[in-house]
Amino acid sequence: MTGPSFQLLFHILQSEQAVLARTDQKAYTILSVLGVFMVFFIVYFRLLVINAFIIAMLPIYFGAAFLTIWQLVHTILPRFHEDPNSHDESEIRLDPTFFGGIREFPTSDEYFAHLKAMDLDTDEERVLRLLSRQVHALATINWEKNTRLRRGVYSFIVAIGAELLLILSTFIKKGLESLAA
């Protein structure tokens, strides 16, 4: 089980797992930064001078902030609906490479016995199919997570931009009022 196909699959699997971890970390970081900016907004909210611009910008800010939270939560906890016709159900149930198949074994000893019973030299095609299914599943998850992360970043930019415009407009209005007085 050391052929070039296995080495390639293990390399891809390792890369996909690294992308998965980095995507989650980025989502957590953006959620944290958004939380800090929302606290700043709450502090400055009482200072806002209500005018048409503020009234127009508030729904944009809250909508973008909500959309950011929605997209980033779905980045961290994606939901998938697998095509039931895409695999042989018995093979998925006993897939020793993925948590769904591993949990079907009642004990770790039975899981170990199953792994030991697999003849990796003669059943290389089955092992390749199991590993390629795992790589494909991780790639699909990564695609969805990165799509959601990108959308979350775009809405984060809109939310922060709207918040900064709201605060800036208030300070400009108060500055102009103090100059006029």
Tell me whether residue 54 is in a domain: yes
Tell me whether residue 171 is in a domain: no
Tell me whether residue 175 is in a domain: no
pLDDT in tens, 31-81: 999 999 999 899 888 888 888 999 999 999 999 999 999 999 999 998 766
Tell me whether residue 143 is in a domain: yes
C-beta pairs of 125-128 under 8 Å, 24+ apart in sequence? 127/1, 127/6, 128/5, 128/6, 128/9
Tell me whether residue 174 is in a domain: no
Tell me whether residue 18 is in a domain: no
What's the confidence (pLDDT) of residue 59? 96
Residues spanned by the domain of 52: 26-79+86-155
pTM: 0.77
Q: How far apart are CA 141 and CA 133, in angstroms?
A: 12
